Every structure is written in structure tokens, then in C-alpha cells.
Amino acid sequence: MRHPGEVAVQRRAGVRLEDHGSSRTRPEIPEPAAEFLRNQHMIILGAADDGGRVWAGVLTGPAGFAAATDDRTIVLHALPGADDPLHGLFERERDIGLIAIEPHTRRRMRVNGTAVRAGDALVVWTEQVYSNCPKYIQTRSPTSAPGEPAGLGRGIALPDRHRGWIAEADTFFIATRAEGLGADVSHRGGNPGFVRVTGARSLEFPDYQGNSMYMTLGNLELDPAAGLLFVDWERGETLQLTGRARVEWEEQRTVRFELDEYAHLGGTVSAGWTAPGYHRFNPPV
């Protein structure tokens, strides 16, 4: 089924292949993708809560904590922690978007489907499985193991530290969804400063040229709810934002985000990574 939001965005962007989007993906997990998944230590996930607010978060574990058990099923042997806004959402089956990302090789695998908790694991049934090009991924490798996730604060306006964190970011992830069409989570990267903080409850970022699938913008065309995830690679902390996003179709296409709430967590990823290697296609800031 073609995604009407993606088709609308493709037409506006001048893309002629209107079926070049989520309708071109397949539900099966090919063996190379299954092998890649088994080697990963970090999975980004995105989903909407019962109020329709969208959040993006991260799960980590040793190699093998994420594994395909057949060509349509993935089991993640980890769950969002008690202070994570995604905690408890999967007591019943709901739409989910996943990215398995390996920064040091600039490889990533995306999965969209549905998920439910089964004991201490998350079981995901796949509906869309595909890979993306390495554009805008900064290379880095962890130098330590993650700690124990713990809440460090929540609020509705970003304090100075969080504004500085976002303004210096070279990477973040954005989760979106559309009713009846599923959830999705996508990577965004660029040189530090590509995300501009415009207020205590607002930020904006350029939408760089990608693969023209427009899965994120297609969802936003139908539902402005979005969740952003920023990682503090040195401290092993994450900042989860939920709010609404809209696309400004100017000479440089720009996404403007308005914050509803944030959650700041520690211990979610490794506290210490090698210095980033910026992608050569990152546009200048």
C-alpha cells in the first residue's frame, strides 16, 4: 500500500518515483540483515504512547541481545527502563520503529512493525525491513560499557545545559508515526551546529538530501507528533524530547520542532566513545 503522506511529500519535492517509499520495502529479514543484527550492541526504537505522544529511546546489550528468530520475528533481550517514557508501553502490541546502527562502519538497518513484551524481552514482528546509505553518519566506537539507566530529570522547557547539548550535537534520531500506517525512527546527522535551538521549547534542523523515501516527512504530513533522541557520547546520557514537528518548504527545507516534554536519562549508552569522524557529505554549517 502506498503511503499518502510520502506521496504528497515526494510530489512537493519533485520526486517522480512516487512508489519509492515504504511501499517498496519488504517484511522479510534477509540473512545478511539477520547477521548484522546479531552483532549489534545498540538499537534505537520509537513508538507512540496512549496519548499519541511519540518518543524515541535506546536499548543496549551484548552482541546477540537483538536477534532474528525467523524471517519475520526479532527478539530484543532488553526493555526500556523504569524512567524511560517508553517503559510499559509494550504490555500490549503496538507499532514500533527500530534502527540497528553501527557507527564505526556507518551501517544501519531499519525495521518497522509491531512489538509486545514477553517476559524480559521485546518481541517484534516485522512489516518493513531495509537498509540505508551511510550518509551523514559520524564514525565513533564505545570505549566502555553502558551503566544502569536512571532518570536525571523531566520537564517542559529545556535548561541551558540541554540547549548547549543539542546545539553541539552531530547526531540525533527522530521517531514519527501515522495512524494505520505504522511507526518509524530515522537517523539525522551533520556537523555540530546543524541543529539550531531557537528557544526553551523549540529547535530546528535542515532536512538534508537522503534516499527520497521521505518516510519521516511522510508521517509528519499526516501527524505532526514526533520524538527526538539526543545522545551525550561522553557522559553516556540521553535526552528524549516529545512534541510536534512541521516542515518549512523554503530553499533549504527545514523541520521546526516544538517541545511538549523532555526526559533526561543517565547510563543508557556507553560513557566514552572515540572522537567522531565526520562524514564527508555533511554540509557546512
**Residue pLDDT, tens place only, 185-240:** 999 999 999 999 999 999 999 999 887 789 999 999 999 999 999 999 999 999 99
45 assigned to some structural domain: yes
More confident residue, 204 or 6: 204
Instruction: Give the residue-averaged pLDDT of 17-21.
Output: 64
pLDDT score, position 1: 66
Distance between CA atoms of residues 3 and 1, nearest Å: 6
pLDDT score, position 165: 98
CATH number of the domain bearing residue 251: 2.30.110.10
The residue whose grid cell reads 512534541 is 243
Q: What is the mean pLDDT of the chain?
A: 95
Show the cell assigned to 207. 532536512
Contact 279, 138 (CB under 8 A): yes
The residue whose grid cell reads 551523514 is 136
Q: Label residue 63 exposed, middle or buried (CB < 10 Å: 0-12, 13-18, 19+).
A: exposed
Show the cell assigned to 213. 523515501
SS3 category, 207: coil
Show the cell assigned to 234. 561522553
282 assigned to some structural domain: no
Q: How many independent structural domains does the chain possess?
A: 1
pLDDT score, position 162: 98
Q: Label residue 180 exposed, middle or buried (CB < 10 Å: 0-12, 13-18, 19+).
A: exposed
Q: What is the pTM of this model?
A: 0.97
E strand or H helix that includes residue 23: none
Residue-wise pLDDT tens digits, 146-198: 989 999 999 999 999 999 999 999 999 999 999 999 999 999 999 999 999 99
119 assigned to some structural domain: yes
277 assigned to some structural domain: no
196 assigned to some structural domain: yes
Query: Range of 122's domain?
Result: 4-266
The residue whose grid cell reads 535506546 is 58
112 assigned to some structural domain: yes
Angle at Cα 183 formed by Cα 95 and Cα 251, nearest 5°?
Answer: 170
59 assigned to some structural domain: yes
Tell me how crowded residue 179 is: count the other CB atoms within 10 A of its CB.
11
147 assigned to some structural domain: yes
pLDDT score, position 22: 78
